[in-house]
A and B are shown apart, each in its own frame.
Chain A
Amino acid sequence: MAEPAVRLAGVTKSFGAHTAVSDFDLEIPRGAILGLLGPNGSGKTTSIRMMMAILVPDRGTVELFGGFPDFARRSRVGYLPEERGVYEKMKVLEQLVFLGEIRGMERKIVRRRAMEWLERLDLGEWAAKKVQALSKGMQQKVQFIGTVLHNPELLILDEPFSGLDPINQEVLESIVLEQREQGATILFSTHLMEQAERLCERVCLISKSRKVLDGNLREIKRRERSNVVALEFEGDDRWLTRLGVTEIERVGYAHHLTLNARVDRDRILAAAVAEGVSLRRFELLEPTLREIFVRHAGADAADEPALMAAGGAR
């Protein structure tokens, strides 16, 4: 059990002139939950496809459970690809039974378990319907059941929550966390920073085919000191503009000030005292994942449409 669930070492993959993943190192210990974060086109899906031996890396090694991702090891994985591939003409339950069977499960057992899962995800009455009759979101849930049905030791989920309504997102999130409590290792990719922050114990940030940083989220946050100060006060706020702070954001009653080289905490406090404003709150905010990402990958990486959209998703 000592060996990590997933290990990538120096993995590089190019498609023609385009480098999709460059010199990627990653270790996911057993029992961890890791979010693979990055904007669209940063190399998340390519990395995942190499873990599943769908793509072969140009350089470097990929290991699952301490060895080459062969069939025996891959069948211990529950893999949810980014494309929502389903047998459209098959009935929902039949499809799940098939997916269980090819992983070596008894037909009777898999049928019962699939039915339990369908009931749990409010799809019980759809069991005998053809998959194509289901909405996209429901199909996604069916596919998700197919991923966890055989109680895999490792879940590799490529954008598992995208396209779902908030209620279903929460349902799937809780199942992912439950799987983890039962001992599974979980890797999921997302471009939703806030979601990763909520679910993950470990994160790996990638941008433009390179890893930016990875590790335990709390440790990262502790290490990455914030440069945002939240201020609440009574009175005129014009004095703030004279400080030399370039980024001021109004959040409810508070002002969020992003510090820079010329303006530090002491300078703001001093200015407040000098102006005679009555302060009600002065707090150094913990950096959000998004801020950390921007700090490491550069603002241009974070300003890609995907991340912008992600910022306003919730």
Chain B
Amino acid sequence: MKQARRQVWAVLRREYVERVKTKGFIFSTIAIPVMMLGIIGLMTFMAVRAEQSNRQMALVDFTGQVGQEVARRMDEAGYDVEIVDAQVGLEELDRRVLEDEIEGYVVLDELTVQEGAFAYRSKDSPGPVRGALLESIVVETVLELRLSATESAGGVRALLGGDRLSFERLGDEAQSEVEEAAGLVSGIAGVIILYMAMLMYGAFVLRSVLDEKRNRVVEVVISAVTPGRLMLGKILGVGSMGMTQLGIWAACAALIGLLGVPMLAANLPEADLSNLAEALPGIGALALLLAYFVLGFFLYSSLFAAVGAMCGTEEEAQQTQFPVMMLLIVPFLLQMFSLEGGAFPWMDWAAVFPFFSPIMMFPRAVSGAVPWWMVGMSLVLMVIAVGATAWVAGRIYRVGILMQGKRPTVRELVRWVREA
């Protein structure tokens, strides 16, 4: 036992130290979050700029009845509206649009008062959001005008005012809206982290096995260490490196949170940050993330180790790892699909399938979309699957690492597993 521990430990340490020391590790630890923050920042910046830069609008009212009110409401909605005298003429306004002085203009005429129809002239389509907003502003204003002739204006205004729907959730798990949103966000973030981490660290295990096999170091190592211990040490070593990297990122995120939030609060006194604490993922969600990461990593990396042991060249490995990658890509696509609103009840059951669990069950668990016993079931099934996969992969690994020459066929693989 002592010998076994020492050997596994030696392999683990080698794998860990040799990876963590590399420039690649340091670079990726810094570069990946910087890159992701950069992309998010750039996208936000562009979106904000795009929205702010084209809010210059004009309005021409041929009726003289609704123009003021429409302009006021547009102003409320954040547009910069200039009411243009009807005498100016549309040609002049068209010229201003074409010369980018204004983004577009709204034309209200007799038909507007009768049917609510109006024109929006611009170089670019208003898009669904702006289109719907303009439409509701114009229609509401016209409705108000027409109804006020018959009823008291105040009552109509109340009827037309916003916030008519209030949602009350039924069932045992009452969640605040913030909590629900937080669950959704940490679910998505978790899926992306799990997907990337397992793909990336799994590939490391594959490379490590393949390199050792290719340069035949494994023949010397295997004369002292059993293949099972070697494989275990390797997976634990790469896994520890992964945990180190994820840990560094988590610590940085926590630090930014701790320092950044008070700073934000001080600079934006009017912003309400009391909900922010609620929006952070709880200890439970983090523990669950860790559980799915550890189990998922064992599951996939033992498969990646088996792939590495089967192959003799980089090219072979590229092809052979495809089925294993599919086990990660399929649940990822299913998960993205169900986020888009295409959830089917069977997907909850697909999430119980051990190979799909990390990516599909974790977000369901944190958003409270499935009962807790399904989460428990998926964890138990994963533990069983880890054992079974390690057994099969271990046998393939044991035969494969010493095998030179062509890649085995499926039939040969079955024989390896049986006879190893």
Instruction: Enumerate chain A interface residues (CB-CB to B < 8 A).
Output: 49, 52, 54-55, 71, 74-75, 77, 79-81, 83, 85-90, 94, 98-99, 101-104, 146-147
- Contact check, B10 vs A74: say whether CB atoms are below 8 A apart: no
Give the interface SS of chain B, mostly helix, strand, loop or mixed: helix
- For B181-225 the 0/1 string (1 means CB < 8 A from A) is 000000000000000000000000000000000011111111111
Residues of B close to A75: CB separation below 8 A = 223-224
Q: Smallest CB–CB gap between B168 and chain A, Å?
A: 61
- Contact check, B402 vs A102: say whether CB atoms are below 8 A apart: no
Choice from A79, A83, A98, A146 contacting B10 with Cβ under 8 Å? A98
- Contact check, A89 vs B18: say whether CB atoms are below 8 A apart: yes
Chain B interface, number of residues (Cβ within 8 angstroms): 22
| Bound CA span A125–B218, Å | 27
| Bound CA span A81–B7, Å | 21
- Contact check, A146 vs B220: say whether CB atoms are below 8 A apart: yes
Choice from B22, B216, B221 contacting A102 with Cβ under 8 Å? B221
Tell whether B319 is near chain A: CB-to-CB under 8 Å: no
Q: Smallest CB–CB gap between A65 and chain B, Å?
A: 14
Interchain pairs with CB closer than 8 A, number:
64
- Contact check, A81 vs B220: say whether CB atoms are below 8 A apart: yes
Choice from B3, B18, B223 contacting A104 with Cβ under 8 Å? B3
| 7 A-B residue pairings within 8 Å (CB atoms) | A52-B223, A54-B402, A74-B224, A75-B223, A83-B215, A85-B219, A86-B217
- Contact check, A79 vs B226: say whether CB atoms are below 8 A apart: no
Tell whether B11 is near chain A: CB-to-CB under 8 Å: yes
Instruction: Enumerate chain B interface residues (CB-CB to A < 8 A).
Output: 3, 6-7, 10-11, 14, 17-18, 22, 215-226, 402
Residues of B close to A86: CB separation below 8 A = 215, 217
Residues of A close to B18: CB separation below 8 A = 87, 89-90
| Bound CA span A80–B219, Å | 9
Given the interface pairs A52-B223, A74-B223, A102-B225, the reply to whether A85 lies near B218 with Cβ below 8 Å is yes
Going nearest first, the 10 A-B pairs with the smallest beta carbon separation are: A85-B216, A101-B10, A85-B217, A83-B216, A74-B223, A75-B224, A85-B215, A103-B224, A102-B224, A81-B219
Q: Smallest CB–CB gap between A152 and chain B, Å?
A: 10
- Contact check, A77 vs B220: say whether CB atoms are below 8 A apart: no
- Contact check, B11 vs A102: say whether CB atoms are below 8 A apart: yes
- Kindly list 7 other residue pairs between chains A and B, CB separation below 8 angstroms, not including A75-B223, A81-B219, A98-B10: A81-B216, A81-B220, A83-B216, A85-B220, A88-B215, A94-B17, A98-B14
Q: Smallest CB–CB gap between A307 and chain B, Å?
A: 26
Residues of A close to B11: CB separation below 8 A = 102
Given the interface pairs A54-B402, A102-B7, the reply to whether A71 lies near B220 with Cβ below 8 Å is no
Chain B residue nearest in CB terms to A106: B6
Chain B residue nearest in CB terms to A55: B402
| Bound CA span A12–B241, Å | 45
Given the interface pairs A54-B402, A85-B216, A87-B217, the reply to whether A71 lies near B10 with Cβ below 8 Å is no
Given the interface pairs A89-B18, A98-B10, A102-B7, the reply to whether A71 lies near B224 with Cβ below 8 Å is yes
Chain A residue nearest in CB terms to B216: A85
| Bound CA span A88–B6, Å | 23
- Contact check, A54 vs B219: say whether CB atoms are below 8 A apart: yes
| Bound CA span A80–B223, Å | 11
Residues of B close to A79: CB separation below 8 A = 219-220, 223
Residues of A close to B218: CB separation below 8 A = 85
- Contact check, B10 vs A102: say whether CB atoms are below 8 A apart: yes
| Bound CA span A74–B218, Å | 14
| Bound CA span A88–B11, Å | 16
Given the interface pairs A101-B10, A102-B11, the reply to whether A54 lies near B222 with Cβ below 8 Å is yes
| Bound CA span A87–B212, Å | 8
| Bound CA span A146–B22, Å | 24
- Contact check, A104 vs B6: say whether CB atoms are below 8 A apart: yes
Chain A residue nearest in CB terms to B221: A102
Residues of B close to A98: CB separation below 8 A = 10, 14
Q: Smallest CB–CB gap between B211 and chain A, Å?
A: 8
| Bound CA span A98–B237, Å | 14
Residues of B close to A77: CB separation below 8 A = 223
Residues of B close to A49: CB separation below 8 A = 219
Q: Smallest CB–CB gap between B397 and chain A, Å?
A: 15
Most buried by B among A54, A79, A89, A99: A54
- Contact check, A99 vs B402: say whether CB atoms are below 8 A apart: no
Residues of A close to B7: CB separation below 8 A = 101-102, 104
Most buried by A among B6, B218, B219, B222: B219
Q: Smallest CB–CB gap between A191 and chain B, Å?
A: 20
Q: Smallest CB–CB gap between B394 and chain A, Å?
A: 15
Most buried by B among A80, A94, A102: A102
Most buried by A among B10, B11, B22: B10
Chain A residue nearest in CB terms to B214: A85
Most buried by B among A55, A77, A87: A87
| Bound CA span A102–B227, Å | 12
Residues of A close to B17: CB separation below 8 A = 94
Q: Smallest CB–CB gap between A141 and chain B, Å?
A: 15
Given the interface pairs A101-B6, A101-B10, the reply to whether A71 lies near B219 with Cβ below 8 Å is no
